[in-house]
Amino acid sequence: MASLILKRSSPSALKSIVDGLRMGASSSRAYASVAAGTDVVAAAPDVSLQKARSWDEAVSSNFATTPLKDIFKGKKVVIFGLPGAYTGVCSQQHVPSYKNNIDKFKAKGIDSVICVAVNDPYVMNAWAEKLQAKDAIEFYGDFDGSFHKSLDLGKDLSVALLGPRSQRWSAYVEDGKIKKLNVEEAPSDMKVSGADVILGQI
């Protein structure tokens, strides 16, 4: 639990959030049912994601969405999901861990490194710009949570004033098939879903 966010917090607040987020984790299984071998396109045949972009860009695109096959088919993809834009671990550790290692992913032949969260694409876009990560990482919104739900990676984080969001996770996906999947036991953890772990798995 040695995350920046927790280090910055008071001991009582620290205990509270850890208890709260762990309570969420223990009330459902810590690991999702998807696993290596799952075809993410087949698992969510009607699901699309929404490319992070400004409101004006979305209007110009007639609010177009991106089918999963366009994201995964014929490509080597590293994708990671997190509880929310503008939350602590996500902003301070999770995204930077991928951004700072983007050259290593490219050297391994990865076509896309993708960040996804249960947020709308306008919030994802603003957050990506603030983190100066848009050049390295592709950001997608899963505004209605349907992508995460279809993979059984959804999670209620109302305890943290977020509502229905997702686990913190990462996956290496080849041509739509999950080759490696890492899901944190609690969303406040970043033990297995960072760039260092998945770089060692590819």
Contacts of residue 43, defined as CB under 8 A and 6 or more positions apart, other chains included, come to 34, 150, 151
Binding mask 136-175 for a copy of itself (x = CB under 8 A): -----x-xx-------------xxxxxx------------
Q: Is 90 a catalytic residue?
A: yes
Active-site residue, from 90, 114, 115, 128? 90
User: Cβ of residue 177: shortest distance to a copy of itself, in angstroms?
Assistant: 28
Footprint on residues 31-70 left by a copy of itself (CB under 8 A): 50, 54-56, 58-63, 65
- Residue 23, interface with a copy of itself (CB under 8 A)? no
Q: How far apart (Å, rounded) are the C-alpha atoms in residues 79 and 169? A: 8
Q: Does 120 bind a copy of itself (CB under 8 A)?
A: yes
Rounded to whole angstroms, the Cα distance separating 80 from 12 reads 30
Size, binding site for a copy of itself by CB under 8 A:
46
Smallest gap from residue 91 Cβ to a copy of itself (A): 7
From candidates 101, 125, 150, 193, binder to a copy of itself by CB under 8 A: 125
Residues between 59 and 118 that touch a copy of itself (CB under 8 A): 59-63, 65, 84-88, 91
101: left (phi over 0), alpha (psi -120 to 50) or beta: alpha
3-class secondary structure per residue, 14-70: HHHHHHHHHHHHHHCCCCCCCCCCCEHHHHCCCCEEEECCCHHHHHHCCCCCEEHHH
The catalytic residue positions are: 90
